[in-house]
Chains A and B, each alone.
Chain A
Amino acid sequence: MNLKMRALLKNNAFQAIASSLLCIIGGLIIGFIVLVFINADGAWEGITDLVKNFFNYKNGTVALKYFGSTLVKTAPLLLCSLSILFCYKVGLFNIGAAGQYGLGAGIALYCALALDMPWWVCMILAAVAAGILGGLSGILKAYCNVNEVISGIMLNWISLYGVNILLTSVKETTSPYTMAVIGVNPDAIIPTIGLDKLFSNNQYVTLAVPLSIIIAIGIWVILEKTKFGYELKATGNNKNAAKYCGMAEKRNIIVTLVIGGALAGLGAAMFYLTGYEQWNCSASSVPAMGFNGISAAFLGGLNPIGSIFSSFFIQHITMGGAYLDKAFYCAQISDLISAIIIYLCGFVLFMKHLMNKGIAKSEEKEKRKNAEQVSAENTDKEGGK
């Protein structure tokens, strides 16, 4: 191993990216094997269709339009993954993001459809409501010692049924879906600020897409560059040490989950206020967006900037699942692949450990070699005397 390569391998960012890529490759290989088992003939075509997503369209304008749609769904996913990674940095696993996302959707749609509010008010209220829900998990954790994973799951189901009840008052009479926002209250649609023109007039590409990226950068700044972020991370690393240093560890836990909840709720508002999809009031499963956020957060190496790319990738293959040949395969193959990717992310620590071990070994070898050389030179010199 030469020096340059070793320096590269030692670099934290490189290690993170390399392990994420390994997870993706592993996920795709296992996904391919599953396709082969179901039907060997179409497997290669299936996996390439899935990875291609909008590139499946030969026509450039159509492909661009579907690229836009992928971005529309990436924005809420990015917000969910930010919610999870922000909490994870503080040592909390916010699996309740799915419920916070659901509640955000419920409040945003209710404010838009029943209360006739403009989009930015709907958005803020959705974030506030979801933040309170997250805060509830935080209070239970800080004061009652309830594991946030379990309280999060319970709140997921409670908020799902609650939102179903709430939105039944604004649903279409003939279908289980809520009324289209654009028909009832056009002011509640997030403005496109001209972005729709860039994506072949895809009216769903709105301010939400750039906003989500700005928020991701904002989260990175908070975590890495502020005292507040430092305190939160310190609480995550060692609760007792943080308490000893005079940090309010209970408050930090609650504040973290409030922010996490608000992020997920905001993500939901960013999606449902584009009018891309309506809420199904007889839904009997928690929105998958929150769980996909977990994949995106870990695949992104728990870095807000990494999350931007991993969210796009997860959304890309999730939507790519729709292009599989329906005669043999089902779209859930993409869920399977992202699930395998998260499972493999559990091995990331081990992969990094292997890389570091490899570096240490080669360094030691080099050192020994140098030492031998030096001693050989010394003996030469002595001989010359």
Chain B
Amino acid sequence: MTLLIEYTLLYASVLILVALGGCFAEHSGVINLGLEGIMVIGALGGALTMSTIATSFPDTSALVIVLVVIIISILFGVVYSALLAVACINFKGDQTIVGTALNILGTAAATVIVKAINTAADPDNVSSVVKYIQPKKAFLFDLGPFEFNWFMVVTIIALVAAYVTLYKTKFGLRMCACGEHPQAADSVGINVYKMRWAGVLISGALGGLGGIVYITAGVSEWKFEYGVAGFGFLALAVMIFGQWKPQRIALAALLFGLFRALSNVYTGFDFMVALDLPSGVYNMMPYIISLIVLALTSKKSRAPKAEGIPYDKGQR
């Protein structure tokens, strides 16, 4: 049971971070379908940092490891999301195509980079696996019977910060204006392009952070050929279910996280083992649930009105 709670909280953290990322991009008026790819690249940055620490600086203190890994993951995510921003905001590219391209590119680039590093270190090693057993322990701390993860704390901070930024600051409210009616925002002197850049870069930071949380959840190595198994899209479903509002996103993420966690730990429950279902059924669960939830809630969606439409100053 404790294991189920731990996993639920971990997966919920991933979903909250990435969904908040999507939320910022969409409030500024850009649909970020590339979150999946951004997660992979963020995870790549974090994983490589951890494996470097493990081999070159084995006696780094836990606090430094946590901070460095988080910062590098965020940085990777931000830089990668700039590809989306350039194409979609400045060159008015199709946001769906560019987002999809980023997803495919993320996995392909991560695989190529990791394989190149692995092969350079050992010519017989052609796998795309990065190991980080030792440094990963820096992220864990015990509280009673539970094993917590510093990422959960970071997530709560991010959640509060996102709420405050979106609803209580000039910056956040201006950003939302750009997603609802960019022409009106422009007419009162808000630079729509800058605001959209900010939205996309923030989504890159949160997506990159979500990526490293995802690949450290429960495992100590990651095979980058797998990408992040549709988690970026699950996060978008969470965002829609959460009606683009941080507090609701958090609740939705807990629900989805629970179903995702079940596929990891169902063998620990006697009644589920007794059902004797193939493991594929549990793997399908989060996706089926999200489809049903989306079907029920999308009808009255409160999506930002101008999302997905490139802003053109000259347009009426």
Contact = CB atoms under 8 A, between A and B. Distances in A.
Interface in B204-261: 225-227, 229-230, 233-234, 236-237, 240
B109 interface: yes
B290 A154 contact: yes
Contacts of B288: 154, 158
Interface in A324-357: 326-330, 332-333, 335-336, 338-340, 342-343, 345-347, 349-350
A109 to B, nearest CB: 16
Contact of A149 (B33, B83, B87, B104): B33
A85 to B, nearest CB: 12
A199 B87 CA distance: 43
A329 B115 CA distance: 8
A335 B108 contact: yes
B49 interface: no
Nearest to B100: A294
Interface in B87-115: 87-88, 91-94, 96-98, 100-102, 104-105, 107-109, 111-112, 115
Q: Is the interface of A mostly helix, strand, loop or mixed?
A: helix
Contacts of B284: 157-158, 161-162
A165 interface: yes
A349 B116 contact: no
Contacts of A147: 240, 298
Interface string B291-305: 100111011010000
Given A336-B108, A336-B112, A146 B298 contact: yes
B104 A339 contact: yes
A38 interface: yes
A156 B298 contact: no
B105 A144 contact: no
B1 interface: no
B126 interface: yes
Contacts of A8: none
Interface residues of B, number: 52
A149 B295 CA distance: 13
A165 B280 contact: yes
B91 A350 contact: yes
B283 interface: yes
Given A95-B100, A339-B105, A340-B105, A162 B280 contact: yes
A298 B99 CA distance: 14
A146 B291 CA distance: 9
Given A332-B111, A342-B101, A146 B294 contact: yes
Interface in A214-228: none
A149 B108 CA distance: 21
Contacts, number: 145
A194 B222 CA distance: 47
A293 B125 CA distance: 31
Contact of A284 (B115, B123, B226): B226
B134 interface: no
Contacts of B96: 93, 149
How big is chain A's contact interface, by range?
Answer: 35 or more
A93 B233 CA distance: 15
B112 A153 contact: no
A140 B298 CA distance: 9
B193 to A, nearest CB: 15
Contact of A153 (B88, B105, B233, B299): B233
A294 B299 CA distance: 28
A154 B233 contact: yes
Nearest to B277: A165
B278 interface: yes
Contact of A150 (B102, B108, B240): B240
B237 A150 contact: yes
Nearest to A343: B101
Interface string A33-63: 0100010000000000000000000000000
Given A161-B281, A332-B115, A343-B102, A350 B287 contact: no
Given A346-B87, A347-B93, A140 B280 contact: no
A140 B294 contact: yes
B119 interface: yes
Contact of B237 (A144, A154, A332, A340): A154
* Listed residue (A144, A146, A168, A349) with the most chain B CB atoms within 10 angstroms of its CB: A146
A140 B112 contact: no
A343 B98 contact: yes
B278 A168 contact: yes
Contacts of A339: 101, 104-105, 108-109
Nearest to B232: A153
Contact of B104 (A150, A291, A329): A291
Nearest to B99: A149
Interface string B64-91: 0000000000000000000100011001
A38 B238 CA distance: 38
B111 A342 contact: no
Nearest to A95: B100
B30 to A, nearest CB: 13
B94 A161 contact: no
Contacts of B301: 145
A332 B92 CA distance: 29
B280 A346 contact: no
Interface string A166-199: 0010000000000000000000000000000000
A329 B227 CA distance: 19
Contacts of A158: 284, 287-288, 291
Interface of B: 33, 83, 87-88, 91-94, 96-98, 100-102, 104-105, 107-109, 111-112, 115-116, 119, 123, 126, 128, 225-227, 229-230, 233-234, 236-237, 240, 278, 280-281, 283-284, 287-288, 290-291, 294-296, 298-299, 301
13 contacts: A38-B112, A151-B291, A153-B233, A162-B280, A162-B284, A294-B100, A332-B108, A335-B108, A336-B109, A339-B101, A340-B105, A343-B87, A346-B101
5 closest A-B pairs (Cβ-Cβ)? Answer: A346-B93, A339-B105, A343-B101, A161-B280, A335-B108
